A and B are shown apart, each in its own frame.
Chain A
Amino acid sequence: MLTAFAILVDGLVFASWLFIVALGLTLIFGVMKILNVAHGSFYAFGAYVAANAIGVYYEAGLPPLGGFALMAGAALVVGVVLGTALERGLLRFMYGRDEVLTALVTFAVFLMMEDVIILVWGADPFFAYQPYGLLGVTEAGPLVLSNYDLSLIGLAFTLCAVTWWVLNRTRQGRLLIAVIHDRELAAAFGINVTRMFTLTFVIGAMLGALGGAVTAPMISVTPGIGVEVIVLAFAIVVIGGMGSIWGAVIGAVVVGVSRAAAVHLLPQVELFVIYAVMALVLAFRPEGLFSRAQARKI
């Protein structure tokens, strides 16, 4: 019973984290058809900027809750600066070219960013642990749960709801859906697709950076944290169906809960869980769980 409860909570927390990290990736893919490897760089930059800012902030002895605002601020800044630079500076020259080539462009950017991170922040770790302890713990029998972890579930829900609302209840969102369905037709109807792309990419970058920023207090921010995130986020997005928000939700929950179950019940298989789920889903639902069938063009 206790184990089942622990699996559920751990699974949901991990699923929420996965969703936060993968949302930006799936959004960018859905709208722009770009498999963005540099998402890992956004995550890493978000984490570094947040950790650096939080460190300075608490050193100065300012009100503790302000740390949370800093995380959001870090995501905003990284998203706007890096997102705009990458989209306007590089990716817009790639529109209309092979998707795989575009993915490789982002891979190249990711490689370069790895060096940039060491040049800017050095190899030593950054800590931003203060916000993690700030929210306290919840005790459930022998289990001590971190409220910060639990609040990730709330954040994931909020992001999910906001995304749904923007896509379905705002004019910009509906235009975006039109672009997702048929880019050329949307352009023919006078939708400014270029601006849509820039906007989407910047928002996706912000979400990636936000993933890094909210993770920063839980971890030691060191070089190389972006690499691990890329494969995880890809797996979620592929399982759910590339570009589908609901798919990302389901993908995250499936992976999150199966991983938690593996850790509690069968620690030996933990390493395979994600790839096994991914291979299984793809074997039966080639386009992922939540993807529309594509019309074949003659």
Chain B
Amino acid sequence: MGYGLGLVAAAAVLVGAGWVLPEWALFLAIVSLAKGLVVLGLVVLWRTGLVSFGQGLYYGLGAYTVGLLPQITGITDAVLLVATGTAIAGLVAFALGFLLSRYREIFFAMLCLAFAMILYGILVKTEALGSTDGFHVVAVTYLGYAPAIESANQVLYVFTAIVVVVLAGLVGRYLQSVTGQMTTAIRDNELRVEYLGFSVRRAVHTKFVIAGALAGAGGAIVATAIGHVDPEMVWWITSGEFVFVTILSGSGSVIAPFIGSTVFELLRSFALEYAPNFWQIIVGGSLLAVIMFLPGGLWSLVAKWRASGR
């Protein structure tokens, strides 16, 4: 009961913020929240001790679904598009998961990367989809409502906020369930978990599908916001960036990825504006600083603050 109320409150706060934020911040918030979904998926994996260097694969699948589906079927409904993108990414993760759930550590990371790079190669080779130039994503509608061009971002923001709260809420529930709790146990010692009678492979497989579907949802929303998709969304640097934000966020809570993602987008945006020659140094330097001095990510600051407050 309390959990449900908390979610409604979170949705209300997020949606309410949409009326206060200036336009540039609204757009940045959409992108941050959507990318936060991808990071949330990585956090689920990371709690099991797994890191995927190929999350761009599912992110890109979600995005290309939003780009292609309207052209093929004429569907422009955002709910359907994002749901389909999420489902397709989840299905591909499910299929690849049979193979990938056998792997751990760096091999898992690299195999994920290999699959992502194969999709990257296919997209680059596909001239009908604009190769590396990509193509335009048509404006979406919401359950039959087509917002005017000026208010499109406000509506997309509200939509994104709702999707994020629902998905983050579901993930939070999952993490509290028995299989969800198994995550940290698997990271600490797989064999012991097996001896308890749980299938580690199935648990890893489930988490992988969750991560894939979340990345698909994130990609679908980003594609809608940017209005353009291209293979760079699948490239390893994009995947690396998601891992980066995961570390920045910390795995302490389902809220952490969205805080981390927002901080990262703000950091990059202002670094680029005020120090255009040094923005990579600033971004890299902050990553270093977080790993060295804030091992729990930004969330550990929140946790510390809450602990001292009580």
Contacts and interface: CB of A to CB of B under 8 A. Distances in A.
* Pairing of A with B: yes
Interface in A93-128: 93-94, 97, 99-101, 103-105, 107-112, 114-116, 118-119
B147 interface: no
Interface in A265-280: 268, 271-272, 275-276, 278-279
Nearest to A37: B240
A298 B121 contact: no
Nearest to A110: B284
A269 B300 CA distance: 47
A282 B117 CA distance: 14
A87 interface: no
A275 B288 contact: no
B164 interface: no
Contact of A231 (B111, B191, B236, B280): B236
B292 interface: yes
A114 B280 contact: yes
Contacts of A109: 284, 288
B291 interface: yes
B106 A282 contact: no
Given A231-B236, A296-B191, A104 B287 contact: yes
A226 B106 CA distance: 21
A35 B118 contact: no
A298 B114 contact: no
B243 A104 contact: yes
B168 to A, nearest CB: 23
Interface residues of A, number: 43
A279 B114 contact: yes
Contacts of A235: 114
B166 to A, nearest CB: 29
B261 to A, nearest CB: 16
Given A35-B106, A100-B109, A286-B102, A108 B285 contact: yes
Contacts, number: 102
Contacts of B115: 279
Chain A binding surface, main DSSP class:
helix
Interface of B is mostly: helix
B114 A100 contact: no
A234 B106 CA distance: 11
B244 interface: yes
B118 A276 contact: yes
Contacts of A227: 237
Contacts of B295: 97
A283 B287 CA distance: 33
B11 interface: no
Contacts of B284: 107-112
B288 A286 contact: no
B247 interface: yes
Given A108-B288, A112-B280, A275 B121 contact: yes
Interface in B125-169: 125
Given A104-B247, A282-B107, 6 more contacts: A99-B105, A101-B247, A108-B284, A111-B280, A118-B277, A279-B115
Interface of A: 35, 90, 93-94, 97, 99-101, 103-105, 107-112, 114-116, 118-119, 227, 231, 234-235, 238, 242, 268, 271-272, 275-276, 278-279, 282-283, 286-288, 296-298
Interface of B: 51, 99, 102-103, 105-107, 109-111, 113-115, 117-118, 121-122, 124-125, 189-192, 236-237, 240, 243-244, 247, 277-281, 283-285, 287-288, 291-292, 295
9 contacts: A99-B105, A112-B281, A112-B284, A112-B288, A115-B278, A115-B281, A271-B125, A272-B121, A282-B110
